[in-house]
A and B are shown apart, each in its own frame.
Chain A
Amino acid sequence: MLNRIRWARHEETIAGWICALPWILGFLIFTAGPMVISLYISFHEYNVLQPPLYIGFENYIRMFDGGPESELFWKSLYNTVYMTVIGVPLTLLVALLSALLLNVPVKGQALFRTCFYVPSIVPLVANSLLWMWLLNSRYGILNMVLGFFGIKGPAWLASPVWSKPAMILMSAWQCGSPMLIFLAGLQGIPNSLYEAARVDGASGLKQFTHITLPLLTPTIFFNLIMGIINTMQIFVRGYIMTNGGPADSTLFYVLNLYFNAFRYFRMGYASALAWILFIIVLVVTLIQVRFSERWVHYEL
């Protein structure tokens, strides 16, 4: 009997490794290996056709030396930070307000939830084309609606000032995922807390600021982290809707990286860009985790 148990333990260890093997191999081939290659290439000049030429930190210096590449680097970083700092909080606010509205117990709740979520399942390419049409300065419905109220709408995607706000508008419209996560967070708050608060005579607003909001902070924290990571990597919209323009106003970080890698075949410089992005995302995430202790409450 003891032997059998020992064999079972042994078998489980072997089986454990074998079953995990696909991912272990995948991790080595598609993640760890490429990261090593990427780091190596980032110290080289490499255009795919000629063998890599070692140039030390040159690729990294190019980002900061004030030359033409450096200008595009800072511009693209600014555009990306703009989308993150303004876009993410705004999108999360819309998501939270939508979730609060959906959380009110009324008949037909599921139907409304579906309506709120539909924009988020429109494929990115189709969605980009759709918004190019909605935001068309002349025949777009948005400017026609604004015109109805006597407001002359801007040229949106054709304007260096309004191109990014236009894309933020799109993001806010597609806030379904954080909205559903907020909704789940709201539904996880025990009803007894609200009942107790009502007995104590707390108003609706007081209940929101003293119960809902504090207990929702872990959810807000999660959505914030994911929102920032995703927005730092924004690409498709800038590629399809504006091709980075006008005047590089939608040249986002990953778009700049893509152009360098796959249009100009500067694989070394593109890899260096990728590593700097990785470091930025890592630092931003760590700072958030660090500061989360001050405002994220896991209980009241």
Chain B
Amino acid sequence: MRRLRSLGIYVLLILVSVVYLFPVVWMVSTSLKTDPQIVRIPPNLIPSPVRWANYGDALRTINFLRAAKNTLYITGMNIIGNILSSSIVAYSFARLRWKGRELLFGIMLSTLMLPFAVTMVPQYLIFRNLGWVNTFKPLWVPAFFGSPFYIFLLRQFMLTLPNSYDDAARIDGCSSFGIYWRIIMPLIKPALTVVAMFTFTTHWNDFLGPLIYLSREELYTFALALQKFQSDYVVNWAQLMAASSVMTLPIIALFFAGQRYFIQGVVMSGIKG
């Protein structure tokens, strides 16, 4: 009876996994098909013959190297900004005692609920006045001012570290900044990894930001280039799926490399309730 039940669970788990995974598999399968195979009814799951050239064609059309370089630049700057700024603000909220701290932290948490649409237009007007439209700056400079979500995440993590570390260092004459840089930062590496991975994913995927600020083709990010490819050309499903697969690949690789961190981050975001 017990055996039968666990067999049933396995069957169910496998069936549901297939439902979840199938669209992704279908994306890759389509990306390797020739035109006649794409419109074939009924369709084949395994393409034959395999047309690898779809990838080359698609990547040339969207100017993959340039788009990847632009995206990596924005992503990289955001990672640096978030790791430095969010961590030092989190340190202040988690481990330093000062007047006004609770109030400011409360304000910060409430901004997490603020719809981005409220600040979207005025932020554009500000960046436009600075002459930053059609530069990457609007897409990475804000990261150097810390992001509430990551500040919150890092603060939660810092709260779990014993206070005796700080006290011992303080008695040895270490300044608050010294404690942050020499004691806290090395200890929160796992949490910083979560922040880096989330930042990478967010900015690799970001569409609205580049859509608003980047209109010159040589500045397109991958997401924007992919969307323009779809809207400008006659629908070429094999190439679209090839480019989509390429865009998805780094995220999947990152997820598998740091699954533990990834899941921890998603779960931690849910613990504040």
Contact = CB atoms under 8 A, between A and B. Distances in A.
Contacts of B24: 118-119, 122, 130
B273 to A, nearest CB: 4
Interface string A82-121: 0000000000000000100110101000001111111101
A53 to B, nearest CB: 15
A20 B13 contact: no
A184 B90 CA distance: 24
A22 interface: yes
Contacts of B267: 180-181, 183-184
B177 A15 contact: yes
Given A35-B119, A112-B17, A22 B145 contact: yes
B247 A23 contact: no
State the main secondary structure of chain B at its contact with A.
Answer: helix
B126 A33 contact: yes
A157 interface: no
Given A15-B177, A115-B20, A134-B23, A121 B255 contact: yes
A11 B176 contact: yes
B142 A26 contact: yes
A278 to B, nearest CB: 5
A72 interface: no
A41 B122 contact: yes
A170 B120 CA distance: 26
A275 B114 CA distance: 11
B115 A229 contact: yes
Contact of A48 (B96, B128, B243): B128
A141 B26 contact: yes
Interface string B230-265: 100000010011011101100110011001000100
A124 B16 CA distance: 22
A261 B111 contact: no
Interface string A211-224: 00000001101110
Interface string A229-244: 1001101100110000
Contacts of A66: none
B117 interface: yes
Interface in B122-175: 122-126, 128, 142, 144-146, 148, 151, 170, 175
Contacts of A98: 16
A23 B151 contact: yes
Interface residues of A, number: 96
Contacts of B148: 23
Contact of A20 (B92, B114, B128, B142): B92
A274 B266 contact: no
A23 B117 contact: no
B223 A125 contact: yes
A240 B85 contact: no
A27 B108 contact: yes
Interface stretch (B37-45, B47-55, B187-195): B37-45
Chain B interface size range: 35 or more
A261 B21 contact: no
B9 A106 contact: yes
A33 B145 CA distance: 14
Given A22-B144, A106-B6, A27 B107 contact: yes
Given A27-B107, A173-B20, A34 B145 contact: no
Contacts of B245: 126
Nearest to A230: B115
Contacts of B204: 123
B121 A139 contact: no
Interface in A10-48: 11-13, 15-20, 22-27, 29-31, 33-35, 37-38, 41, 48
Contacts of B243: 126
A136 B98 CA distance: 58
Contacts of A102: 13
A250 to B, nearest CB: 15
A197 interface: no
Contacts of A104: 9
Contacts of A184: 267, 270-271
B201 A22 contact: no
Given A23-B148, A34-B119, A38-B118, 13 more contacts: A13-B97, A26-B146, A33-B122, A118-B24, A121-B251, A121-B255, A126-B243, A126-B245, A130-B27, A133-B27, A180-B266, A181-B269, A218-B273
11 contacts: A30-B145, A101-B13, A112-B13, A121-B252, A125-B205, A132-B230, A133-B30, A177-B266, A180-B270, A233-B116, A233-B117
Interface of A: 8-9, 11-13, 15-20, 22-27, 29-31, 33-35, 37-38, 41, 48, 98, 101-102, 104, 106, 112-119, 121-127, 129-134, 136, 139, 141, 144, 148, 173, 176-177, 180-181, 183-185, 218-219, 221-223, 225, 229, 232-233, 235-236, 239-240, 253-254, 257-258, 261-262, 267, 270-271, 273-275, 277-278, 281-282, 285
